[in-house]
Amino acid sequence: MRLQALAAALHLPATDLPDGEVRGVTHNADWAGPGDVFVAIRGARFDGHSFIDKVRQAGAVAVLGEGLPDDMTSSLPYLRVPDARAALADAAAAIEGHPSRELRVVGVTGTDGKTTTAWLTRHLLRAADLRTGLLSTVGYELPDGELRHFPAHFTTPEAPQVQRTLREMVAVGADAVVLEASSHALALERVRGVDWDVAVWTHLSREHLDFHGTVENYFAEKRKLVERARFAVLNADDPWTARLTGLAPQETTYSAEGNGADWTAHDIEEGAGGLSWRVTSPLGEFGAQLPMIGRFNVANALAGMAAAAHLGASAEQLVAGLASFRGVPGRMELLAGDGPASELPAPRVIVDFAHTPPSLEKALTTLRTTTPGRLWVLIGSAGGPRDPGKRAPLGEVAARLADHAVFTEEDCRDTPLDDILREMERGARAGGRTNFTTIPDRAGAIAWIIGKAQPGDTVLLAGKGPEDTLERAHETVPWDEVAVARGALSDWQMAARR
C-alpha cells in the first residue's frame, strides 16, 4: 500500500507526503522495520514520540500520533490523528485489505466461558463444512487445525497481529473465523477493524477492575462487541443481558436454566461419559451429547450451536459436531495416569482455568456431583493491581466447596506472595473453616495435593489452565500445568506399586 493511499484511507491530508510503499504498521519501536508506519502512543510509562528517531533508523516511513509534544520535532512525516490506538487498528485493517470482510466472523466475549464457547463454535462450524480458523487465549488455528502461538503474550493480540492473521486465513481459503474478544482488546481497539457477523455473549462477573475501574466500565467495553455485530447470541441466564437486548440488528437467546430462550436446554444429565440433554430451538427439538465435564458447558454448547446455526449449520450437523468435540486444553481437561485404571486406579486430576470466584464455584459444584471420594482443589490468585478484592472470595469458595484446599502461587508479580496467600486464608477462615494448606511453590503444591489424594478422589488444579509462563516477583519461568500434574500422577502410581 502507498503512504498517500493509507492517509486517504484514514481520512488524513496526503499533501506534501512522500508516496513511498508501506509494508506494515506498529506501535512497538522494537518491531519497526523498513516500510513501516509507526504509531506513537502515549502510555502510562512511555510516550511513543520519544522513539521516533529509533524507528527512523530502523526504516520506518511515517509517524501517526495525537500531536507532537511542544519540545519535540519529528524526523519523519508526521500525521496527526484524533485517537492513536484507533488509528493503529484502522491502519492495520487498511494495509491488510480488510480481510474480515472476506470471512464470516464470530466474536465471543464474557468473563467466563468464552474460550470453551469459541472452541466449540469453531468445531461446530467445521462440522458444517465451513473451513474455520480460530483466535483464542490458548493460541490460534488456521483451518488446518494446527494450534499456533503468537510470540507476545496477549489475551487478544494487537491490531496488526489480528489483521495479519485474518489475512493469512483468507489466503489459505478459510470461510469463517471465531475470535475471542477480551475487554482489553475492545477497550484498546485491538479488534476495532474487525467486521463482526455474530457476537456471542457468555457471562459477566467481576474481573480486570485494575484496568477498568468499575464493573460498569468493564461491561461497557464488552458491550461494544454486541453493538458492532449484525447478529447477537445472548445468554438469557445472565442478568446483564437485559441491557444488551436490542443493540444488534438481529439477536437470539439461549438458556441452560429453562428461562424461555430461543435455544433452551432441558432434561440435562451428567454422567461418566459427559453431558446429555434435550434442545428446544428454532431448528426444532432434538437430543444432544457432549463428552465434557461440567454442567455449565451446556450453556457454552447452546451459545456455539446458536452461532453456528445462524451461519448455516443444520441440527444434524450440530448434533454430530457436539458428539465429536474433545474439549479445550486447560479447560476442565481430564488427565490420566500411566497405568490402566482397571489395573491401578488413580485419583481423577483435572486442569482448569477457573480463576474467579464464580468460575471456581461452578467448577467445584460440578465436580462434587461426579466425585465418589474427596474433592481437592489447588488455587492461587494473581498479584500486582489485578483486582485484589477477589483473593479472599477465592479462598472462601475453595474451602467451602472442597474437602481440602491448597493455596499457592499464581503470577504474583510485584505483590508479595505472602500477602496474597494471607488474603486467601482470611477468606477461608471467614466461615470458620480450617480445611486448607498453604504451599507457596506451585510445583510442590501440585505434588503434595496429588500425593495426598486416593482412588475415587478428584483433584482440581485451578487458575493456570493452558498458560505457558508463571510470573514471579523477579522472574517469569516456563510453565506447563499438565506436564507437572502428569509427573505428580506418575509419582503417585510408582508409590502405589510399591
What residues form the annotated binding site? 110-116, 155-156, 182, 190
Residue 373's nearest CA partner among 342, 394, 344, 404 is: 404
Pairing outcome for strands 36-40 and 62-65: parallel
Note whether 91 and 81 are within 8 A (CB): no
What does the DSSP 8-state code read for residue 42?
Answer: B
For 102, the 3-state DSSP assignment is helix
Q: Look at the chain and count its residues.
A: 498
- Grid cell, residue 390, equals 477477589
Residue 310's nearest CA partner among 406, 197, 212, 408 is: 197
Pairing outcome for strands 147-148 and 250-255: unpaired
Q: Longest C-alpha distance within the chain, in Å? A: 81
Note whether 284 and 263 are within 8 A (CB): no
For 224, the 3-state DSSP assignment is helix
DSSP conformation letters of 357-374:
HHHHHHHHHHHHHT-SS-
Report the C-alpha gap between 350 and 336 in whole angstroms.
9
In sequence order, the 6+-apart residues with CB closer than 8 A to the CB of 221 are 183, 186, 187, 212
Report the C-alpha gap between 485 and 498 in whole angstroms.
20
Residue whose cell numbers read 465451513: 130
Note whether 91 and 10 are within 8 A (CB): yes
The annotated binding site for ATP is made up of: 110-116
Kindly state the helix (H) or strand (E) to which residue 33 belongs, with its residue range: none
- Grid cell, residue 356, equals 474467579
Residue 192's nearest CA partner among 1, 78, 25, 55 is: 25
Report the C-alpha gap between 428 and 343 in whole angstroms.
38
Q: Determine the distance from the C-alpha atom of residue 225 to the mean position of all C-alpha atoms in its chain, rounded to a whole number.
A: 15
What are the backbone dihedrals phi and psi of residue 70, each rounded to the nearest 5 degrees, phi first? Answer: -60, -30
